[in-house]
């Protein structure tokens, strides 16, 4: 019986970690292969588009996972304040678990690729749009008007990703806590009176 290769999954898992820690441009193919333990020949077999394809697939995976987490939280029926609290508690926890040495892989990739990387740019755009959509749906269901929900979703996403970056720089969860307070204040100001 042939041995099942996990090279593809191993490379994506390692790429997610490394991109979060050092950004897209800070990681080379040789390091990806070394850390994943994948044979060199498997790289272009699994990823004929090379590093750019790996980056796009990492973005798609992280994007789908986070969109799903927003959807599950919305469907749980928590209040608007509870929704905000739980999102920023989760982001703070993720920063702590990474020992403040890595940010969200999405932020790291989004800020680290060149203008010629059209595939990555589109993948990041699709992922961030899906997050904004899930947040907008959740907050609209909790009382914000459609236009205010769109404003809120954009601001919350910006605060969330910014908190990851600043948390890494400061080696603290304070940016997540501060972003949470600010986003709660924004939500209150956008609710109909």
Look at the domain 53-190 and name its fold. Answer: Tetracycline Repressor; domain 2 (1.10.357)
Render pLDDT for 51-89 as a digit per residue (tens, 0 to 9).
Answer: 889 999 999 999 999 999 999 999 999 999 999 999 999
Q: What DSSP state is assigned to residue 114?
A: -
CA dist 28 and 16 (Å) reads: 13
Render pLDDT for 3-36 as a digit per residue (tens, 0 to 9).
Answer: 546 888 989 999 998 988 888 888 888 998 899 8
Domain spans, the chain: 53-190
Whether the pTM exceeds 0.85: the reply is yes
Helices marked H in the chain:
7-22, 29-36, 40-46, 50-75, 80-97, 105-110, 118-140, 146-170, 174-190
Half-sphere exposure of 121 (CA within 13 A, CB side): 6
């Amino acid at each position: 019986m042939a041995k099942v290769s996990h090279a593809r999954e191993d490379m994506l898992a390692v790429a997610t970690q490394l991109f979060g820690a050092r950004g897209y441009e800070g990681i080379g193919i040789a390091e990806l292969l070394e850390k994943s333990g994948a044979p060199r020949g498997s790289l272009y077999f699994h990823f004929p588009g090379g590093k750019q394809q790996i980056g796009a697939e990492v973005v798609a995976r992280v994007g789908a996972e986070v969109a799903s987490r927003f959807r599950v939280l919305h469907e749980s029926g928590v209040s608007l304040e509870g929704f905000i609290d739980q999102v920023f508690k989760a982001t703070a926890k993720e920063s702590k678990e990474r020992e403040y040495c890595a940010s969200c892989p999405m932020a790291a990739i989004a800020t680290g690729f060149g203008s010629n990387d059209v595939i990555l740019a589109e993948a990041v755009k699709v992922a961030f749009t899906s997050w904004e959509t899930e947040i907008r749906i959740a907050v609209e269901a909790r009382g914000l008007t459609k236009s205010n929900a769109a404003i809120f979703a954009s601001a919350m996403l910006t605060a969330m990703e910014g908190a990851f970056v600043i948390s890494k720089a400061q080696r603290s969860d304070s940016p997540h806590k501060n972003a949470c307070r600010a986003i709660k204040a924004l939500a209150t100001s956008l609710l109909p009176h």
